[in-house]
Amino acid sequence: MSLPKVRIGGYGVTRLVLGSNPFLGFSHFSQARSRWLRGYFTVDRVVEVMRRCQELGVNAVVGPADEKLFQALEEAGKASGERMTWISTTYGKPDPGQQSREIRWLAGRGAEICLIHAGYTDTHHVQAENRVVGLEELLKLVRDLGMVPGVSTHNPQTVRTCERAGYDTEAYILPINTTGYLCPTEPSQVSRLIRGVEKTFVAIKPLASGRITPYEGLSYAYAAVKDRDTVALGISSIEEAEEDISLVKGLLKATREPREE
C-alpha cells in the first residue's frame, strides 16, 4: 500500500511526513540525548534515513531553516532523482527581523512551504486584541517569495485567533498526543479544534518525543485528525523507518476498508 496524500497549497504531501528533530539534535528528552544526536547525525546519516523513508513512500520533511537539513535534502534528492517537499519553519526567535531573514533564506534554498515558528507566533499572540503581532507581514513575505504560508503553534488558541483574524495561512503545525505534551490543552479539545478547521494540519509530537509507544501514539494521532491532515514523525534509523511506516500504512488501510457487520 502506498501512502495517501493531502494538499498544502499546490503540493501533495503524504499523510506521514518526516520530522527533523532527531537529525538536528533536539531530543526534547535530555541534554545527553540531544548531544548524542548532534554528534551522530552527520549529513550522510541523515541522507541514509531520508532515502529509506523515500523508498517506503514518504515524500516530505518538516524542519527549520537549518543548513544541515538543507544539505541532506539536496543530497537525498540527487540520489533519488526527486527532492522531498520541504515543509519548512523558521526558528523560534522572537525578533521579526530574524524571522524575515530566515524566510528569505528558506526561499533561496527552494523550500516550498514555510510556517512561522511557534516561538514567534505564541509569544506574539495577543488574544484580547485578536491578533498575533507582526504575523500578517511575515505571512505576506512568505507568499511574496513564492512559498505557501502557514503557522506553527503549540497553543490551540493561536489557531483560533489566526482563523478569526483571517490571516493568509494555508496550514497549521500543532502537537497532538495522548499526554498533552507540549500542547497545554486537553487532547480531545485539540482534536475538536483540528476537525473544526478546514485547513490542513501537520500534527507533531505524536509520540511525545519518545514518551509514548509508536502504536499508541500514531493510532491516536490519526484518529484525532482529519483525513486531509498529515502527521510528522521523527525517525532515527532505517529500522525505525521500516517499522513505523509499515505501522502507519496499516493504520490508514484499516480506516479506509469497510468493516463487516
Q: Render pLDDT for 118-148 as a digit per residue (tens, 0 to 9).
A: 999 999 999 999 999 999 999 999 999 999 9
Domain ranges in the chain are 12-251
Angle among Cα 259, 229, 156 to the nearest 5 degrees reads: 120
Q: Render pLDDT for 88-98 as a digit per residue (tens, 0 to 9).
A: 999 988 999 99
**Model's pTM, two decimal places?**
0.95
Q: Render pLDDT for 23-41 as a digit per residue (tens, 0 to 9).
A: 999 998 999 999 999 999 9
Report d(CA 58, CA 74) in Å as an integer: 16
- Listed residue (184, 98, 179, 171) closest to 141, CA to CA: 98
Average predicted confidence (pLDDT) for the chain: 95
Q: Render pLDDT for 227-240 as a digit per residue (tens, 0 to 9).
A: 999 999 999 999 99
CATH fold for domain 12-251: TIM Barrel (3.20.20)
